[in-house]
């Protein structure tokens, strides 16, 4: 039976998995031209690290060590299975084509960009793009990806397998798109990175409010894109949005583990360095052309981040920005956020009126924040029986333990006032 590695080795391997997984997998895929085999060889390299590093010491460049081990393993397998592999569809890797951008590998690791753009190819369905990005770029297990989507692991495994097969059979090229192709491809990439960030910022299930690994990888990938494409407003706006949201990370949960709403957060503990960077990026994105969805969302986040107190929030500006966002992205999620903002600008009755059309929309029937928002508006009106019912509805739809605990406390408050 293999003994457990020393704690410092286990921590170093975990850190390398978080920081280097995508780089190692992407580099290995260039050798294998097969995503499944690249995954297998990459996983083998991390297992070898757990075996070798206790005796040999943690290498100075863990990523380089892992890439070498995974690459050597891949070459061995490719040589051994050369005949059979000639009969299988492979990733299209044209080594003769120059990269569309000449970049410093230390600044922008192009192999990872190839992987991101391959996962987000428009030939794949949006849910497959996100699933592949979480699995291949973020290094999440299939079970973890399934939990993020609230589906069975077997369902997610089949979805990921189909997406990989389509990449090979459709001959989707493993490369960063050319400059002409880039505008139409960037939208899918930024949408996927935003979904990854959102799944980490407020985890849909589990005991913690935040999945820090997802937050980190989304920010890291978008920073990488921004270094490569500093004039792409969608990339700039998304980075601004993520930084402004992440600036509040230390105040979203109290010391006792309970959820703390934006109105009650200690703004002195927000990361004002990230707020300054995010606000500057909003201005940068607005100067790069007509604002896109993520830029407008970032502008809303900046209004909240720069308000010295909750009471000083410029709700008129927030509602106006949601109006712009609703034109750009007609979504029930945006309509819900706008209704909540109206409730603060014009009072809870106005918020409830704006929320009314969403209550009949089947596409958001299982979205817990509709019921939670309605419950809060009713609570502020003192309509305690209706608020209690809405909190009960939200509880049946919420999978995150921190959010559930908050809703339970609000439900208890509503019931106590109802009985008073």
- In which band, very low, low, confident or very high, does the pLDDT at 240 lie, cut at 50, 70 and 90? very high
- Asked if 274 contacts 246 with a C-beta cutoff of 8 angstroms, the reply is yes
Adjacent-strand bridge partners of 400: 206
pLDDT tens digits for 314-323?
999 999 999 9
Residue 206 — very low, low, confident or very high, per pLDDT cuts 50/70/90? low
Please report which confidence band the pLDDT of residue 413 belongs to, taking 50, 70 and 90 as the band edges.
very high
Give the pLDDT confidence score for residue 87 in this predicted structure: 47
Nearest C-alpha neighbor of 294 from the set 344, 245, 342, 348: 245
Which of the two residues, 131 and 102, has the higher pLDDT score?
A: 131
Given this model, what pLDDT does residue 361 score? 84
**The pLDDT value given to residue 344:** 96
Q: What pLDDT, on the 0 to 100 scale, is given for residue 169?
A: 83
Q: Could you tell me the pTM of the whole model?
A: 0.75
Q: What is the distance between the alpha carbons of residues 126 and 120, in angstroms, rounded to a whole number?
A: 8
pLDDT for residue 209 is more than 80: no
Q: Which two tokens stand for residue 4?
A: 């457990």
Q: CATH assignment of 7-85?
A: 1.10.1740
pLDDT band at 104 (very low <50, low <70, confident <90, very high): very low
> What integer pLDDT is reported at residue 176 of this predicted model?
73
- On the question of pLDDT at 102 being above 70, the answer is no
Surface-to-core class of residue 82, CB atoms within 10 Å of its CB (0-12 exposed, 13-18 middle, 19+ buried): exposed
Average pLDDT over residues 201-209: 67
Q: Which of these ranges, 147-151, 271-275, 296-300, 351-355, has the smallest mean pLDDT? A: 147-151
Q: What is the mean pLDDT of the chain?
A: 85
| Cα 410 from Cα 141, distance rounded (Å) | 35
Comparing CA positions, the residue from 255, 246, 234 lying closest to residue 197 is 246
For the CA atoms of 75, 80, 85, 90, the dihedral, rounded to the nearest 10 degrees, stands at: -10
- pLDDT (0 to 100) of residue 282: 97
Tell me if 333 sits within 8 A of 358, measured CB to CB. Answer: no
CA distance 142 to 154: 9
Coil vs helix vs strand at 11? helix
One DSSP character per residue, 225-275 reads HHHH-TT-HHHHHHHHHHHHHHTTGGGSB-TTS-B--GGGS-GGGS-HHHH
Nearest CA among 286, 307, 300, 305 for reference residue 237: 286
Helix pair angle (153-169, 142-149), 10° resolution? 110
324 or 213, which is more confident? 324
pLDDT tens readout for residues 144-172:
777 666 678 888 889 898 998 888 888 88
130-134, 311-315, 332-336: segment of lowest average pLDDT = 130-134
341/396 Cα distance (integer angstroms): 25
Residue 108, pLDDT > 50, answer no
pLDDT of residue 185: 77
User: If you average pLDDT over each of 131-140, 147-156, 201-210, which comes out highest?
Assistant: 131-140
pLDDT mean over 193-212: 75
CA distance 153 to 402: 23
Residue with the larger pLDDT of the pair 280 and 290: 280
Q: pLDDT by residue (tens digit) across 219-228?
A: 988 888 888 7
Confidence of residue 134 (pLDDT cuts 50, 70, 90): confident
Q: With a cut of 50, say whether residue 211 has pLDDT above it.
A: yes
Instruction: Give the integer Cα–Cα distance in Å for 398 and 367.
Output: 8
């Amino acid at each position: 039976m293999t003994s457990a590695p020393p704690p410092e080795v286990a921590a170093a391997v975990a850190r390398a998995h978080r920081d280097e997984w995508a780089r190692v997998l992407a580099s290995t895929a260039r050798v294998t031209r097969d995503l499944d085999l690249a995954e297998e060889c990459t996983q083998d390299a991390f297992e070898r690290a757990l075996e070798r590093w206790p005796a040999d010491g943690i290498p100075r460049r863990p990523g380089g060590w892992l890439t070498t081990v995974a690459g050597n393993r891949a070459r061995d397998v490719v040589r051994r299975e050369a005949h059979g592999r000639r009969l299988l569809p492979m990733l299209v890797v044209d080594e003769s084509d120059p990269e569309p951008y000449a970049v410093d590998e230390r600044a922008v690791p192009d192999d990872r960009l190839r992987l991101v753009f391959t996962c987000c190819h428009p030939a794949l369905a949006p849910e497959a793009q996100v699933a592949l990005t979480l699995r291949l770029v973020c290094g999440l297990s299939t079970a973890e990806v399934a939990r993020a989507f609230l589906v069975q692991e077997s369902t997610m495994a089949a979805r990921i397998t189909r997406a990989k097969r389509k990449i090979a059979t459709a001959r989707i090229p493993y490369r960063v798109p050319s400059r002409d192709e880039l505008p139409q491809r960037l939208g899918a990439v930024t949408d996927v990175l935003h979904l990854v960030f959102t799944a980490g910022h407020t985890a849909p299930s589990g005991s913690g409010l935040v999945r820090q690994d997802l937050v980190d990888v989304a920010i890291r990938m978008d920073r990488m894109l921004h270094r490569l494409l500093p004039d792409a407003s969608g990339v700039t706006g998304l980075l601004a949005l993520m930084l402004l949201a992440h600036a509040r990370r230390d105040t979203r949960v109290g010391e006792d583990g309970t959820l703390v709403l934006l109105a009650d957060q200690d703004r002195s503990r927000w990361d004002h360095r990230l707020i300054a960077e995010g606000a500057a990026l909003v201005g940068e994105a607005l100067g790069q052309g007509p604002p896109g969805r993520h830029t407008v969302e970032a502008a809303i986040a900046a209004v909240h981040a720069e308000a010295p107190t909750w009471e000083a929030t410029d709700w008129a500006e927030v509602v106006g920005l949601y109006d712009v966002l609703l034109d750009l992205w007609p979504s029930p999620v945006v309509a819900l956020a706008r209704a909540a903002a109206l409730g603060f600008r014009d009072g809870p009755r106005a918020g409830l009126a704006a929320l009314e059309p969403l209550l009949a929309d089947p596409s958001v029937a299982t979205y817990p924040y509709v019921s939670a928002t309605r419950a809060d508006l009713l609570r502020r009106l003192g309509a305690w029986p209706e608020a209690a019912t809405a909190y009960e509805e939200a509880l049946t739809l919420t999978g995150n333990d921190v959010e559930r605990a908050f809703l339970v406390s609000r439900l208890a408050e509503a019931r106590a006032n109802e009985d008073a």
